[in-house]
């Protein structure tokens, strides 16, 4: 078992691209279309930029960023967090979550923000919320609002 996530490299991009397409396909949001060229460019920025990373565990990963905005210490945003269905009952999700927390501490972030907005089915959404609250110590801090255009 791996006890911490590792930083993605260019060698991981094909795997991450496959996963990105899979989570677009799994979303219940209408009108989303996976765009490979844009996805590759976007994911590459997480490998190249110092305040962004993609963390990888067996069967999953997370896109994470430190955002200074107008602050002395940055906020940490978990942009995407995914675990492949075959790994959802393994320790990978907790290892990935704990690695995100360590990443945020390493970047001197003052808070971590994460949303459950993947548009998964209700059961999978609730498992994600349970992970973040029970194992990550996160609490609800306001609604997320959306409008399809």
Could you read off the pLDDT of 96-127 as tens digits, one per residue? Answer: 999 999 999 999 999 999 987 777 788 888 88
1 within a domain of the structure (yes/no) = no
67 within a domain of the structure (yes/no) = yes
Q: Is the pLDDT of residue 2 over 80?
A: no
84 within a domain of the structure (yes/no) = yes
Instruction: Give residue 147's pLDDT.
Output: 81
Could you read off the pLDDT of 127-143 as tens digits, one per residue? Answer: 889 999 999 999 989 88
The CATH number of the domain where 92 resides is what?
Answer: 3.40.630.30
94 within a domain of the structure (yes/no) = yes
Taking the C-alpha atoms of residue 53 and residue 51, their distance in angstroms, rounded to an integer, is: 7
147 within a domain of the structure (yes/no) = no
55 within a domain of the structure (yes/no) = yes
Task: Give the count of domains, the chain.
Answer: 1
148 within a domain of the structure (yes/no) = no
Residues 57, 72 contacting (CB under 8 angstroms): no
Taking the C-alpha atoms of residue 47 and residue 3, their distance in angstroms, rounded to an integer, is: 21
113 within a domain of the structure (yes/no) = yes
Domain of residue 109: give its range: 6-135
Give the dihedral sign, CA 125/130/136/138.
positive
Tokens, residue 26: 């799994």
Could you read off the pLDDT of 47-88 as tens digits, one per residue? Answer: 999 999 999 999 999 999 999 999 999 999 999 999 998 998
**Percent over 70 (pLDDT), the chain:** 99
**pTM score:** 0.92
């Amino acid at each position: 078992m791996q006890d911490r996530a590792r930083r993605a490299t260019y060698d991981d991009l094909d795997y991450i691209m496959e996963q990105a397409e899979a989570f677009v396909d799994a979303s219940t949001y209408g009108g989303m279309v996976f765009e490979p060229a844009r996805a590759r460019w976007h994911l590459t920025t997480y490998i190249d930029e110092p305040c962004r990373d993609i963390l990888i565990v067996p069967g999953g990963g997370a896109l994470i960023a430190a955002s200074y905005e107008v602050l002395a210490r940055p906020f940490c945003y978990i942009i995407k967090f995914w675990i492949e269905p075959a790994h959802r009952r393994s320790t990978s999700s907790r290892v990935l979550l704990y690695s995100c927390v360590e990443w945020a501490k390493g970047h001197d972030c003052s808070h971590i923000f994460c949303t459950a907005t993947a548009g998964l089915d209700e059961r999978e959404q609730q498992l994600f919320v349970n992970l973040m609250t029970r194992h990550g110590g996160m609490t609800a801090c306001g609604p997320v609002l959306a409008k399809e255009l």
